[in-house]
A and B are shown apart, each in its own frame.
Chain A
Amino acid sequence: MDVASAKLIGAGLAAIGVGAAAAGVGYVFGSFLNSAIRNPAASDGQQGRLYIGFAAAELLGLMAFAVAMLILFAF
């Protein structure tokens, strides 16, 4: 296998991580909504933690995307 096609396959594999991060972000918001509907009065105070969890999950997906871009363009 030559380097060019290996690069494309590697970038495609790295993009799987973006889908995994999508599941993570969905889980963060889903479980927030689950508990926020049970106790709406307490949900406003937890918005900060919601966005911290969202950012932590989203960062990993963005890093997978950046790795794919680095494989494609910078390597």
Chain B
Amino acid sequence: MAAEGKIDPMHQFVIEPIFGSFGHNNPFVFTNSALWTLIVLGTIWLFMWGGMKRELIPGRWQIAVEGLISFVDDMVNVSIGPEGKKFLPWVFTAFVFLLFANLIGNMPFGIVAPAHPFTITAQFTFTGVMSLITFAIVLGVGFWKHGLHFLSLFVPKDAPFVFKIVIAPIELISFLVRPFSLGLRPFIAMFAGHVLLDVFGNFVVQALNSHSAGGIGITILSLLFIMFVSMIELLVAAIQAYVFAILTSLYIGEAINLH
């Protein structure tokens, strides 16, 4: 990774096979992406399982799980309304999956030599499919509930006729761009942060290898910057999961209530 003189921050996003190989059009390959997805899912399963004891006097763990659920429940109720209960499973799934995947992707597992850390949400395949599921729900619910009347979503209600002609195509384009921007946002936040951490980590190695007086200064500055970026990344990990969940519930609420 830290080859001589050449920084390659893209190497951390490469999907490599662990068992099997990509040759012969083999579709069943256990990759590092699959491994880290299983780790994320196992962590979520453990966390939820530990909190679902249904004790009358909840312990700390149960309070954490119940707090998380009621947090998402409040968000869904505010954005969608009384019908929000039906969509809580998907919004909660998306929120918890993004939160855990982002946080586990930020953990410094690279200290342990064989554990090659891999951030699954830094791949557009994961976040893009999640935003496609959201828009499948939005389109399905909208057309199921309102029929072709759902298309009135693109027309402002109390506007002069000339305005409606101008605004409807703009609204349509903005609606069509949404799945892309919804999936792009968590992906690119994780991607950019990890590239930044990798670049400055390489600065530390190269500055130490230079054995010069200025190298020590660069090392200290880079380490401080890595600490700063790591803290920002933890904040961004939580905020991106929150924003994905709240935008998902806003879009579903728009499809149900039509303005």
Q: Does A22 contact B (CB under 8 A)?
A: no
- Which residues of the other chain, A, contact B184 by a CB distance below 8 angstroms? 59, 63
Residue of B nearest to A64 (CB): B192
Q: Are B10 and A59 in contact (CB under 8 A)?
A: no
Chain A residues lying within 8 Å of B195, measured Cβ to Cβ, are 65, 69
B246 contacts chain A at the CB level, 8 A cutoff: yes
B242 adjacent to A62 (CB under 8 Å)? no
Which residue in A48, A52, A62 is a CB contact (below 8 Å) of B192?
A62
Contact check, A59 vs B188: say whether CB atoms are below 8 A apart. yes
Judged by a CB distance under 8 angstroms, whether B247 is at the interface is yes
Residues of A within 8 A of B255 (CB): none
CB neighbours of A73 from chain B (8 A): 8-10
Prevailing SS type, chain B contact patch: helix
CB distance from A25 to the nearest CB of B (A): 11
Beyond A59-B181, A73-B9, A74-B10, whether A52 also contacts B188 by CB under 8 A is: no
Which of A62, A63, A65 is most buried by chain B, counting CB atoms within 10 A of its CB?
Answer: A62
Is the contact region of chain A dominated by helix, strand, or loop, or is it mixed? helix
For A66, list chain B residues within 8 Å (CB): 188, 191-192
Q: Number of A-B pairs whose CB atoms are under 8 Å?
A: 42
Our pick among B10, B196, B240 for the contact of A55 (Cβ within 8 Å) is: B240
A65 to B229, CA, bound (A): 14
Q: Which residue from B181, B191, B246 sits with its C-beta under 8 Å from A51? A: B246
- Annotate B185-201 by CB proximity to A: 1 below 8 A, 0 otherwise: 10011011001100000
CB of B75 to closest CB in A, whole Å: 7
Distance to closest chain B CB from A49 (angstroms): 9
CB distance from B218 to the nearest CB of A (A): 19
CB of B243 within 8 Å of the partner chain: yes
Quick one: which of B208-253 are within 8 Å of A by CB?
Answer: 236, 239-240, 242-243, 246-247
Decide: A55 near B9, CB < 8 A? Known: A48-B246, A62-B189, A69-B195. Answer: no
Selected A-B contacts with CB under 8 Å, 12 pairs: A48-B78, A51-B239, A52-B243, A52-B246, A55-B240, A55-B243, A59-B185, A59-B188, A62-B191, A65-B196, A66-B191, A69-B10
The interface of chain A, by Cβ under 8 A from chain B, is 48, 51-52, 54-55, 58-59, 62-63, 65-66, 69, 73-74
